[in-house]
Homo-oligomer: A and B are copies of this chain.
Amino acid sequence: MFKRVCVIGVGLIGGSFAKAARIHHLAQSIVGFGRVDDLENLQLAKQLGVIDEFYTDITSALESTDCVVLATPVASTQRILSLLKPFWTSDCVYFDVGSTKGNVMDAAMHVFGEVPDNFILAHPIAGAEQSGVSAALDDLFVGKRLIITPLPNTSPTHVQNVATCWENIGAIVAFMDVKQHDSVLGATSHLPHLLAFALVNMLGHRDEKEDIFHYAAGGFRDFTRIASSDPAMWQAICFANKNELLPLLEAFKMQLTQMQELLESDNQAALIDLFAYANTARQKFLQQTELST
């Protein structure tokens, strides 16, 4: 499908994409690019056979490349695009894998004046608490959603290429607009991460924290699983999507205030109703998930 894929940032996502692309014969060769301080990780990636070669020099990395994958943390997108700009060519398709899309669009606008028509904004909804190439998996994207957020000027041919590529490695491709993506992901991913970090942070500072963590059970473990995610990566995602997150946080605080009022006014019926609504809504979500995977 591609002659030479260049993965910029060979971590969990970039590495898993490379592994899957190799297994499904999507590229004749796959190379990695990273900064000098990423050398150890790049060496490991080559050693593990995730990539054929690696470069810390962008000119060599991009030579004869017809597909560039931007898989660095979201905060670095603008820097990477600036690095790519002098070599940007219409013979190549570029896509990113960031958890937020508005900020990637803004970064491209800033660097290019407009988002190039062969730069496809994409987001695989897959991940893990672990990070780095050693955590990369062949099948990380199998059965997972890949959301593409095309812009009015985005080339349909390139969108189709990227969609086909992801479908070949097992992902289910969907299309959204940028704003809708950031709103939906803000609600279902970024906000829950913030809440999990907030809860563990709050409890970790309490006097009885030893007891708290000693007697916490399975429900707490599941609820806080995402608080074991990479702090720097999630900090960057939260800032990248803060326009969505700030009103979501406000709405959530209002929801908690409503619960406090129900508790204070002994309104048991209303609290059951609220819990029952949530219970039913989650049941529907589970059914949808089963149907769609």
Could you tell me if B275 and A234 are in contact, using CB atoms closer than 8 angstroms?
Answer: yes
User: Is B259 a contact partner of A213 (Cβ separation < 8 A)?
Assistant: no
How many copies of this chain does one complex carry? 2
Report the count of interface residues on A (CB-CB < 8 A).
92
- Cα A145 to Cα B220 with chains together (Å): 14
Indicate whether A27 reaches chain B with its CB closer than 8 angstroms: no
A288 is an interface residue with CB less than 8 A from chain B? yes
- Complex Cα–Cα for A236 and B127 (A): 36
> Is A1 in the interface zone, CB < 8 Å from B?
no
Q: In residues 219-260 of chain A, which contact B (Cβ within 8 Å)? A: 219-232, 234-236, 238-239, 242, 245-246, 249-253, 255-257, 259-260
Main secondary structure of the interface of A (DSSP, over half): helix
Are A288 and B183 neighbours in the complex by a CB distance under 8 Å? no
A215 with B174: CB separation less than 8 A: yes
- How far is the CB of A189 from the nearest CB of chain B, in Å? 6
Contact between A180 and B192 (Cβ–Cβ < 8 Å)? no
CA distance A238 to B255 in the complex (A): 15
Please give me the residue from chain B that is nearest to A280 by CB atom. Answer: B204
Q: With contacts A231-B279, A263-B239 known, is A286 near B188, CB below 8 A?
A: no
